[in-house]
A and B are shown apart, each in its own frame.
Chain A
């Protein structure tokens, strides 16, 4: 039923502009795979190349081992869910869902039966005769999914389908999408700029920037072991420190920054003398009292703090224009942070990564 999707050195150019540079990856059968990146990074272009709306300039898209070049979107075993859903407003909900079957010459009664089954699947049973306009945002979302599933695609492609929903519904639909994927068991390829969506739903994530796939891995791999400065700064929050590698010590690298020598995991095997960036996450920072035995200690001053309910963000004067953010769990006995007060914060070397200098995602 399902099928793997391979991008074999896919490059897509629009005139002078290269939208996707040499994407080379394999999405497994039945996997929930996300492309994560800021707008304009080429993720939608990849999706359109898989669905058949455009052909790669170089390289091959293979679905189930079969080269898809020259096969139009109406002949591919894929179904696409559009960002704005693109439901047909003049057809009933059931007709929308059954459109793909109508195209395939399935009889009216059979179509209606399949539509009703799918309405059951998306928990909208009995609403087939409604107009699309009578549905709520979340219901439309589910109808779009049902319409795509009706043609029994081997691969379901989703182009930021949750971006139009409000926060609560978006979080609910994440769970729902994941559940639907597990029920139908087909390959899902999901496009998003929202790392929360990518991290919560995906088996694996490809992080993209400027047409280049920066890193592919599970959510925790991408988050914990970011391989490039872009991934480290785009996925989750991160505090960068720029400097030069002073020495390499086993798995660690020591880097000289404006805050002194800092130690982190040398994930990319940098050697002494190279320009580097150290990233440490806000939740990995903590206050150091007295002569604490932290691997790394930073002396700074408090700028301000923000109470966010379950945790507390403290902004410290950082290197250059960027503040250092430290987040602390609201344990009920946090010290007070006064503006201008001196602060000593520290972090374990294992919680920081040292990466080659590169493009940093802007907030």
Chain B
């Protein structure tokens, strides 16, 4: 610790420590601790807060699993189903993004040269200057029953009736995949870019077909980048609100939308907090399990 102060000087050291403490405590730990606390409380009107009914309870969590005590079903099928679907759909979005971004990242990092690679990166970034809501609604225009894609398909005579992309969740998957594409491209690009091109050529020279070069040389090298890209996309997809709200079909509910309703229209913050905590923990457990499976440490993701 004294070494740290000596190296950086008193002023900078103090600033660094305060900044990190501020960041961790005020921005991360405190709000989440409040949410955690909320999730174990009853939903009471302001007058009763601090009163005899203000006790810790598991009822909010119980509600997610078993539904309201008076309901006929043994479990809260609706919400559990939405929860599961959100997780699975987020895995899908992650896989779609990986499949889309890996070739792009590989191309920019190892094949394209200089100016062309830079302009490709710029082309990837530019669309994200448009805000999220606008992008989501423009996807509605694109995928709507009277939208651009249907108009083209119909005028080419490929379909007679417009396809309802919104109902089929195509628009939702497209919108979510698109929303987080950069978070996949850049970690992948960084990881692949640091691979010595000679290794690719060496593998090729030893007779390797292209897919094995990727499987045995490029992907193992890029594993930390793949892990960090997939983690980001999965977490953010599972926690997305705008895209599911705007692009989701009428029957498809995203778990975040339920959380949003508890907080907002439902006015039941403890219930919303409990749902949000469950989503957070589920995502964490899932990501850690996958990392365990692929033998990746947290430190590698931060590389």
Binding site for B on A (CB under 8 A): 51-53, 72-75, 78-80, 82-84, 86-88, 90-91, 99-100, 102-104, 147-148, 151
Contacts and interface: CB of A to CB of B under 8 A. Distances in A.
Contacts of A104: 207
Interface in B193-216: 196, 198-199, 201-209, 212, 216
B207 A86 contact: no
B202 to A, nearest CB: 4
A111 B207 CA distance: 15
Contact of A103 (B198, B201, B208, B221): B208
Contact of B201 (A82, A91, A148, A151): A82
Contact of A74 (B196, B208, B220, B221): B208
A79 B198 contact: no
B246 interface: no
If over half of B's interface residues share one DSSP class (helix, strand or loop), that class is named, otherwise mixed; here it is helix
B204 A99 contact: no
Given A53-B205, A73-B204, A79-B205, 16 more contacts: A51-B205, A72-B204, A74-B208, A74-B209, A82-B198, A82-B201, A86-B198, A87-B202, A88-B199, A88-B202, A88-B203, A90-B220, A99-B208, A99-B216, A102-B216, A148-B206
Nearest to A51: B205
Contacts of A74: 204-209
Nearest to A78: B205
B209 A80 contact: no
Contacts of B216: 88, 91, 99, 102
A80 B208 contact: no
A100 B207 contact: yes
Given A88-B217, A90-B220, A90-B221, A103 B212 contact: yes
Contacts of B217: 88
Nearest to B223: A90
A301 B93 CA distance: 82
B208 to A, nearest CB: 5
8 contacts: A53-B205, A72-B204, A82-B202, A83-B198, A84-B196, A88-B202, A88-B203, A100-B206
B216 to A, nearest CB: 7
B198 A151 contact: no
Contacts of B220: 90
A99 B203 contact: yes
Given A100-B207, A103-B206, A104-B207, A73 B201 contact: yes
Interface in B169-191: none
A74 B198 CA distance: 14
Contacts of A87: 202
Contact of A80 (B199, B205, B212, B221): B205
Nearest 8 pairs between A and B by C-beta?
A86-B198, A100-B206, A86-B202, A103-B208, A74-B207, A82-B198, A80-B205, A103-B207
B212 to A, nearest CB: 6
Contacts of A102: 216
A73 B196 contact: no
Contacts of A151: 206-207
A88 B203 CA distance: 9
A308 B282 CA distance: 74
A73 B205 contact: yes
A132 to B, nearest CB: 11
Contacts of B204: 72-74
Nearest to A84: B198
A143 to B, nearest CB: 12
A99 B212 CA distance: 10
Nearest to B201: A53
A52 B205 CA distance: 8
Interface string B108-124: 00000000000000000
Contacts of B203: 88, 99, 103
Contact of A86 (B199, B208, B209, B212): B199
